[in-house]
Chain A
Amino acid sequence: MAEPAVEVGEVAASPESLIQLDRVRKVYGSGPAAVVALDSVSLDVPAGDFLAVMGPSGSGKSTLMHILGCLDSPTTGAYRFGGEDVSRLTESELAYVRNRRIGFVFQQFHLLPRLTAWRNVELPLLYREAGQRREAALHALDQVGLADRVEHRPTEMSGGQQQRVAIARALVTDPDLILADEPTGNLDSGSSYEILAMLRRLNQDGRTVVLITHDAEIARTANRVVRMLDGNVVGGHSPADALLLVPPPGHPPADGPEGGGTAGR
């Protein structure tokens, strides 16, 4: 289907790109049982961008998120993160990249229930030699407006507050990339709005944000949107068009094939 509109060399040469995927393919299993999760994805995310990756379930957006987050390695193809090829790193090296450069926000929050808010925020700092962890954690909680909830446990907080703790945990390491996977999937609309506004603000402060969602309304928060279908990126659009991208059930999107593979630059 859609092939990247830019040449490989051109992608690699772009110095201000934070994320460069070059014909990344991911296959789970082998032989007849093999499942192609990503067919051939090329993507270029400049530093400071706010990108939404949209697609229905099974489109490969979760797999893309795992690869972008260095939680998994591509089967073939190259992934350059901040100019460094991370597609063939060992598990320990990937852990290092995740710890130093990527902040995760999950749909399920993934807070540890036995730990207080600031202890949860402190967690990533425990996996590096960092001093002043409490100060850093309190500062991050202050940034998400939870300075008065530092000693509360997750069970004592609302869903929106829990997700803000998770955002503070993603921020505490001062990462290059915030990767949010359906961050509002478990929240009511009020809390959702808060969380999206927070991501928006982080982006305005200069941080690169990639938002994974199936919801076109949510995707509109981003600066631009790429759409995934059957393991391929099928279109890059401005957020205003995001709603138009939703295909009627059972029909391919009208603008899918002819849309440029990589998001517009």
Chain B
Amino acid sequence: MSWIHTVQTGLLSLLGHRLRSVLTTLGILFGVAAVICTVGIGQASSQSVQARIASLGTNLLTVTPGSSVSGGVFGGAGSADTLTMADARGLASRDNAPDIAAVAPVVQTRGTIVDGTSNWSTTVTGSTPSWLQTNARTIGSGEFLSNQDVSSAAQKVVLGATTASDLGAALGDTVTIHGIAFQVVGVLQPVGGQGFANQDDLAVIPITTAQDELTGPGGVQRILLSATSVDTTGSAYLEAQQLLMQTHGIGGGTADFQITSQSQVLSTAQAVTQTLTILLASVAAISLLVGGIGVMNIMLVSVTERTAEIGLRKALGATPGDLFRQFVIEAAALTGLGGVLGVATGLLVGAVLPRLAGVAMDITLAPVVIALAVAVSVGLVFGVYPAVRAARLAPIEALRAQ
């Protein structure tokens, strides 16, 4: 039998069972659409996470204290109190660390800011003028804290854009934090939502003032370092490491601090989003597999139902190969159609969902092609067994069936 007639016969039989064909197709349709959508969402979120982290600057290094052990209780990373203002001053020395451009010691606490009748709870950061540079931020209006403010422990505050607008605070206003009066001297340029935390909702005060009034004297929670360029981040890391080992008097033992670079965070985040994408796509792929089993099921029903027809075709001269091809083509047509409709559905969801739900989707060619190819292969693979059953039916048994 020629291919044209084999295809014609297969399609005619599918048309003869329209509802059944459509329902079988749905399984494949949803599988393909799910694969395309989940991979699209995964890629979009991976890209946005990468963009966010990259915007922080890849030449940023963060020094955090090591873990504390008090009375046998392991306090966890960052819980120790080993970093000091002296460490920050040492790192800032151009002679000791030529590749470090800026050093910003940081203490942080939650605090409620009160401006007249309105109040706002936010993160209060105590730091130095270098904070702007290490965080890659700029001042929107007014001015940032000065070295003078730090050395005199001035009661001045710089607010994030969100904080300022929600509080209704203007430049020159006096606000209170934990009952202490601060003068608003500047508002930061907004940077937009940053996912994990809103980077525009914060308050920055001199680190000396914070230590005196809020967090207690001496300790530094973190030291932010910015290398002179992206290329010197590696040597800046080594310089900071060496210097701190020296000043903390650690020979070859375990360091009581940790230095992490932004690129480490970036690769970790990449790995996490990739894993999530693979996980989601696997679930979608399983639904595609289930759709394939549905195709096999319906093809088996079809073979059983058409036993008499198969017998007749054999009596009229159809070879086992003719019947095998006919049933495989029917299965492939079902999944191929489901695949094409699935791609259409996936693209439609990709166009509509971002507008309705604000979920970013980034649909690329590769998952579309792969999902379609997998759908058709699923049809071929799951169509083979029913087709073999049809081909192997003995003509006399099949003729007796009616």
Chain A contacts to B: CB under 8 angstroms: 66, 69, 71-72, 91-92, 95-96, 98-100, 104, 106, 108, 110, 112, 114, 123-124, 126-129, 169, 173
Contacts and interface: CB of A to CB of B under 8 A. Distances in A.
A95 B402 contact: no
A221 B9 CA distance: 38
B266 interface: no
Interface of B: 1-2, 5, 9, 12-13, 16, 308-309, 311-322, 394-396, 399, 402
Contact of B314 (A95, A108, A173): A95
Contacts of B394: 72
A72 B315 contact: no
Which 8 interchain pairs have the tightest Cβ spacing? A99-B317, A127-B317, A124-B316, A92-B319, A95-B319, A110-B312, A71-B395, A66-B396
Contacts of B13: 114
Nearest to A108: B402
Contacts, number: 66
A90 to B, nearest CB: 9
Nearest to A179: B315
Given A69-B315, A123-B316, A124-B317, A106 B399 contact: yes
Contacts of B317: 95-96, 98-100, 124, 127-128, 173
Contact of B402 (A66, A98, A110): A110
Contacts of B315: 69, 71, 98, 104, 110
Contacts of A72: 394-396
A66 B316 CA distance: 13
Contacts of B2: 126, 129
Contacts of B399: 71, 106, 110
Contacts of B313: 123, 127
Nearest to B309: A112
Contacts of A106: 399
A210 B140 CA distance: 103
Contacts of A96: 317, 319
Contacts of A98: 314-317
Given A95-B320, A98-B317, A127-B316, 4 more contacts: A71-B396, A99-B316, A114-B12, A114-B13
Contacts of B312: 110, 112, 123
Nearest to A123: B316
A124 B1 CA distance: 10
B62 to A, nearest CB: 73
A170 to B, nearest CB: 9
A129 B317 CA distance: 12
A92 B317 CA distance: 9
Contact of A104 (B316, B319, B322): B316
A127 B315 CA distance: 11
Nearest to B9: A126
A74 to B, nearest CB: 13
12 contacts: A72-B396, A91-B319, A91-B320, A95-B318, A96-B319, A104-B315, A106-B399, A110-B312, A110-B315, A110-B399, A123-B312, A127-B317
A127 B395 contact: no
A96 B320 CA distance: 11
A128 B313 CA distance: 12
Given A95-B319, A110-B312, A126 B1 contact: yes
B321 A92 contact: yes
Contact of A114 (B16, B321, B402): B16
Contacts of B308: 108, 110
A95 B1 CA distance: 12
Contacts of A99: 316-317
A10 to B, nearest CB: 31
Nearest to A92: B319
B156 to A, nearest CB: 87
Contacts of A128: 317
A110 B308 CA distance: 8
A122 to B, nearest CB: 10
A71 B312 CA distance: 11
A127 B326 CA distance: 12
A150 B13 CA distance: 21
Contacts of B311: 110
A123 B320 CA distance: 16
B37 to A, nearest CB: 38
A96 B321 CA distance: 12
Contacts of B318: 95, 127
A67 to B, nearest CB: 10
> Interface centre among B5, B317, B394, B402, by most A CB within 10 Å?
B317
A66 B402 CA distance: 16
A124 B395 CA distance: 15
A126 B319 CA distance: 12
B391 to A, nearest CB: 9
Contacts of B309: 112
Given A69-B315, A98-B316, A104-B316, A127 B402 contact: no
Contact of A127 (B12, B16, B322, B396): B322
A187 B320 CA distance: 32
A127 B395 CA distance: 15
B396 A92 contact: no
A159 to B, nearest CB: 14
Nearest to B16: A114
A187 B312 CA distance: 20
Contacts of B16: 114
A106 B399 CA distance: 9
A69 to B, nearest CB: 7
Contacts of A100: 317
B129 to A, nearest CB: 85
A110 B309 CA distance: 8
Nearest to B8: A126
A251 B334 CA distance: 59
A100 B317 CA distance: 8
A96 B317 CA distance: 6
A176 to B, nearest CB: 14
